[in-house]
């Protein structure tokens, strides 16, 4: 029997075949801190592609599977079975795939949004609660060190009571009609869910705002658009936010905003100060204590504390990026998996959970509902 608790974690992957974007990201993220070895996969719904992709990654032939159900049962039967699986398929597959592994006691690391429907999301929450395995959602942007820094400062009261939250996530890649694979499923409600930009990127923005501020959304009013003719889901959304704690906010997500590549940006203002962060320049956090000059705090630089340092690898001025932020989720997941295996309490690293995923689905649902009701305020 292979020792469960030493060395890299044996990892499987569902989805992420040759021409997928996010699968490759997950694989790099899993490797950066040397905490995982990818040893099995059902990398595509198309068997030939699944085989070719597995071979290209050097997986053992007997651990290249044509479908995730087979993979879950076969792996569960092995002594050296995978300890965790990454699910990186289109959204509508998440629930069933995750369930298959959770029921085998295999930990799940799943891409966001949680599922394609709210029903599926609730089903999945129940599955997580009823099985003895961890479920981690890769809201990767929460892994950025300066996001942790901001979260820490707000939790410590540095900004005082939070009043205003401005969050946005703007892209431009759907400005014109697109028919390549990445665009196709993301704009197909059957595979992606009822939300377009709201589901693909709005959930990230919403999650990040809540993660950093610690606030809980009460209700929202949304105005969704599909600017490209014939597009069945939103490609732009304006959302007003009311938080239970009294703060107000705005969320804008768009995939039709030329010049924006991956413009996730968060600004938070409290009684005593404000912070500003942008994903494209993630090593900086701008901190404005009211009545003092704005400070540029850099990752691992002066003014940045332990919250950022524990998810940093290299000195200030040596930029870390998207992959390292993503790796921070994977590495914390590895710590959690090892703790779980050892029967120890989980670390306090802030991993995104299935409940975060459910919240994201509720957010999408509320956006779509509000917009259908001409922007009525909808409780989340």
- Residues 341-380 within binding reach of a second copy (CB under 8 A): 374-375, 377
CB 366 within 8 A of CB 251: no
Interacting residue with a second copy among 46, 176, 347, 373 (CB under 8 A) = 176
Choose the stretch contacting a second copy; rule: CB under 8 A; options: 77-85, 112-120, 300-308, 352-360.
Answer: 300-308
Which range binds a second copy by CB under 8 A, 44-52, 59-67, 120-128, 311-319?
311-319
Of 70 and 176, which CB lies nearer to a second copy in the complex structure? 176
The nearest distance, CB 129 to a second copy, in angstroms, is 33
Q: Is the separation of the CB atoms in 323 and 32 below 8 Å?
A: yes
Compute the least distance from the CB of residue 140 to a second copy, in Å: 10
- Between residues 115 and 207, which has the closer beta carbon with respect to a second copy? 207
Cα-based distances in Å from 51 to 17, 40, 57, 163: 9, 11, 10, 53
* Residue 3 lies near a second copy (rule: CB under 8 A): no
Q: Max Cα separation, the chain? A: 64
Nearer to a second copy, 225 or 349 (CB): 225
Q: Could you say which residues in the range 201-240 bind a second copy, by CB under 8 A?
A: 221, 223, 225, 227, 236, 238, 240
- Nearest approach, Cβ of residue 370 and a second copy (Å): 10
d(CA 201, CA 171): 9
DSSP string, 207-252: HHHHHHH---EEEEEEEEE--STT-SS-SEEEEEEEETTS-EEEEE
Residues 195, 367 contacting (CB under 8 angstroms): yes
Q: Indicate which single residue of 49, 103, 191, 313 sits in contact with a second copy (rule: CB under 8 A).
A: 313
Query: Of the two residues 50 and 239, which places its CB atom closer to a second copy in the complex?
Result: 239
Separation of alpha carbons 112 and 116, rounded Å: 10
Binding mask 247-276 for a second copy (x = CB under 8 A): -xxx-x-x-xxxxxxxx---x-xxxxxx-x
| Complex with a second copy: residue 71 or 275, whichever CB lies closer | 275
Taking the least distance from each CB to a second copy, the nearer of 56 and 126 is: 56
Binding range to a second copy, per CB under 8 A, among 31-39, 63-71, 77-85, 128-136 = 31-39
- Smallest gap from Cβ 292 to a second copy, in A, equals 5
Q: For the sheet containing 248-254, what is the strand order? A: 284-289, 273-278, 263-270, 162-170, 248-254, 236-243, 217-225, 378-379
Residues 6+ apart with CB under 8 A from 192: 90, 91, 92, 116, 185, 186, 199, 200, 233
Burial grade of 61 (CB within 10 A; 0-12, 13-18, 19 or more) = exposed
- Token pair, residue 92, equals 């509508």
Report in angstroms how near the CB of residue 58 gets to a second copy at its nearest.
Answer: 6
Q: Among 11-19, 20-28, 44-52, 78-86, which window interacts with a second copy (CB under 8 A)?
A: 20-28
CA distance 257 to 261: 9
Interface with a second copy in residues 130-159 (CB under 8 A): 159
Q: What gap in Å lies between CA 273 and CA 156, rounded to an integer?
A: 13
**How many Å apart are CA 147 and CA 108, to the nearest integer?**
24
Residue 166 in the binding site for a second copy (CB under 8 A): yes
Choose which of 60, 291, 343, 345 interacts with a second copy (CB under 8 A): 291
């Amino acid at each position: 029997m292979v020792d469960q608790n030493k060395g890299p974690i044996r990892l499987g992957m569902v989805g992420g075949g040759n021409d997928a974007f996010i699968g490759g990201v997950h694989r790099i993220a899993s490797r950066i801190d040397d905490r995982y070895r990818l040893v099995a996969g059902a990398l595509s719904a198309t068997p030939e592609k699944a085989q070719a992709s597995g071979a290209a990654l050097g997986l053992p032939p007997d651990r290249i599977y044509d479908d995730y159900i087979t993979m879950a049962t076969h792996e569960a039967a092995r002594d050296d079975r995978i300890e965790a699986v990454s699910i990186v398929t289109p959204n509508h597959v998440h629930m069933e795939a995750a369930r298959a592994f959770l029921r085998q006691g295999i930990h799940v690391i799943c891409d966001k949004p949680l599922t394609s429907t709210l029903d599926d999301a609730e089903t999945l929450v129940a599955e997580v609660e009823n099985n003895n395995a961890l479920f981690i959602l890769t809201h990767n942007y929460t892994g950025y060190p300066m996001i942790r820094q901001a979260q820490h400062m707000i939790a410590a009261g540095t900004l005082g009571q939070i009043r205003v939250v401005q969050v946005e996530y703007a892209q431009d890649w759907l400005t014109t009609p697109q028919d390549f694979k990445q665009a196709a499923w993301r704009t197909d409600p059957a595979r992606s869910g009822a939300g377009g930009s709201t589901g693909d990127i709005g959930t990230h923005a919403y999650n990040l705002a809540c993660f950093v501020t610690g606030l809980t959304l009460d209700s929202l009013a949304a105005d969704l658009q599909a600017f490209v003719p014939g597009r069945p889901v939103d490609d732009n959304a304006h959302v007003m936010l009311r938080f239970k704690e009294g703060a107000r906010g705005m969320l804008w997500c768009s995939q039709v905003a030329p010049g924006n590549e991956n413009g996730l940006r968060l600004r938070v203002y409290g009684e005593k100060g404000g912070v500003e962060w942008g994903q494209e320049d993630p090593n900086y956090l701008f901190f404005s204590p009211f009545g003092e000059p704005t400070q540029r705090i850099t990752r691992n630089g002066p003014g940045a504390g332990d919250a950022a340092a524990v998810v940093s690898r290299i000195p200030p001025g040596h930029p870390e990026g998207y992959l390292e932020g993503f790796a921070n989720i994977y590495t914390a997941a590895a710590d959690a998996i090892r703790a779980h295996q050892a029967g120890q309490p989980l670390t306090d690293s802030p991993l995104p959970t299935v409940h975060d995923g459910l919240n994201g689905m509720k957010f999408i649902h509320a956006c779509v509902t509000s917009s259908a009701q001409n922007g009525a305020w909808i409780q989340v």
